[in-house]
Amino acid sequence: MKILALESSAVAASVALCEDETLIAQAFQNTGLTHSQTLLPLTEDLLKNCGLTMADVDLIAVAEGPGSFTGLRIGVAAAKGLAWGGELPCAGCSTLESMAWNLAGFEGEVCVAMDARRKQVYNARFRVDGQQPHRLTPDRAISLEDLIAELQGTDAAQIIVGDGAQLCYDALTAAGIPAKLASPNLRMQSAWGVARLALEKARAGQTITANELAPVYHRLSQAERERLERENKNP
């Protein structure tokens, strides 16, 4: 099964093409340009350089969230557009679980942390067994204070990944919780992780249509929060 995967949940954009578990090609760009400028050109060039077209793709995968609200919308919209023409099945993949797949060959506990601002991180925890990650928590927006409380007393060193890894590492180690940072090349979002999770979803019969694909934000946008605050002040 050939899987075309898109990742635009944070600052960098990446696209990967996989044949089942095998990575055929991956393109990554972190130049400060918006994903609306980079994601589709990366996809077009990657397929062209592989001598393939969308007719050769069997499944479209995309990081559905959590992450940047704008980045997620661009990624999902791009995935929908690519899938609709050939009526291809889609897989919406957790950004956090996709990152845990980067460390699937290790053994231990993985703590994924994306900086969500407002003294929170988007977080999920996993146990990896040398082959794949297994969930310990759902995806969530959680304060570092609550994450520390959850991990108090644990003996398992947390391998930390994500764009909030340093922030999370500093907080956990200051609280005496054993933790270590994943190496930089494995720490950030990658389209390969999205493709690998999408393969598991396809094998489990959990693909969806392009029409069903939607971002998963895990909390209200800033505009929605400000509107609710105004309404609560002026009922």
Residues 6+ away with beta carbon under 8 Å from 20: 1, 199
Band of pLDDT at residue 220, cut at 50, 70 and 90: low
Whether 119 has a pLDDT exceeding 90, the answer reads no
Q: Where are the domains of the chain?
A: 2-96+189-228, 102-187
Whether 93 has a pLDDT exceeding 60, the answer reads yes
What's the predicted TM-score (pTM) here?
0.91
Whether 58 has a pLDDT exceeding 90, the answer reads yes
Per-residue model confidence as pLDDT tens digits over 145-195: 999 999 998 889 999 999 999 999 999 999 999 999 999 999 999 999 999
Q: Which residue, 100, 177, 178, is CA-closest to 139?
A: 100
68 is written with which tokens?
A: 């940047």
Topology of the domain comprising 102-187? Nucleotidyltransferase; domain 5 (3.30.420)
Which CATH code fits 2-96+189-228? 3.30.420.40
Whether 96 has a pLDDT exceeding 70, the answer reads yes
Q: According to DSSP H, which parts of the chain are helical?
A: 35-49, 69-86, 95-100, 144-151, 165-174, 184-187, 191-203, 222-233
Q: How far from each other are the two terminal CA atoms of the chain, in whole angstroms?
A: 54
Q: If you average pLDDT over every residue of the chain, what do you get? A: 93
54 is written with which tokens?
A: 């969308």
Band of pLDDT at residue 223, cut at 50, 70 and 90: very low
Strand pairing category for 158-161 and 179-181: parallel
Band of pLDDT at residue 225, cut at 50, 70 and 90: very low
Strand pairing category for 140-143 and 120-129: antiparallel
Whether 215 has a pLDDT exceeding 60, the answer reads yes
List of long-range contacts for 22-27, beta carbons under 8 Å, 24+ apart:
23/192, 23/195, 24/50, 25/49, 25/50, 26/190, 26/191, 26/192
Band of pLDDT at residue 204, cut at 50, 70 and 90: very high
